[in-house]
Amino acid sequence: MKATEAAALPVRPGEEPWTPEELEQVRNQLESEIVAQREEIRESENEVDELLTDPVAGAGDDPADTGAKTFQREHDLALAYNTRDLLAKNERAIERMHAGTYGVCESCGQAIGKARLQAFPRATLCVTCKQREERR
């Protein structure tokens, strides 16, 4: 993104405009998280594949062992789903940067705030709209 494009991204009153360096730092953070999340998903899928293709896995286990393994498997799947969700949000944030809509609240259309995006780069709602959403 060019310097003029970075400066054109919305900021809240009292905040300095985005610099290309600041935006690049946020983009690099998102991209490194994407790489790590894709690797984590790949590892989870490999583990699940191994469990599903092992015909003797769990043979001879008592009910407590079976329950513990089932609980662990469900826990691992829940973590994988969460990682997929975070991956999608990170990819969406980069898409919004390219589209020039990064920093615009998807609910009210106002600026999310540069400080909020630097702390939580995949935010899509301003603080006010996020608080309203959480109260529901």
pLDDT by residue (tens digit) across 72-96?
888 888 888 999 999 999 999 999 9
- Residue 45: the pLDDT is 85
Does residue 58 have a pLDDT over 80? no
Q: Hey, what are 122's tokens?
A: 């995949």
Average pLDDT over every residue of 106-122: 94
- Residue 28: the pLDDT is 96
- Residue 30: the pLDDT is 96
Q: Hey, what are 103's tokens?
A: 């920093």
**pTM of the predicted model, to two decimals?**
0.80
- Residue 7: the pLDDT is 78
Higher pLDDT, 6 or 102: 102
Higher pLDDT, 71 or 66: 71
What value, to the nearest 5°, has the Cα angle with vertex 77 and ends 59 and 84? 155
- Residue 69: the pLDDT is 77
Measured CA to CA, the distance from residue 130 to residue 125 in angstroms comes to: 6
pLDDT tier at 3, thresholds 50, 70, 90:
very low
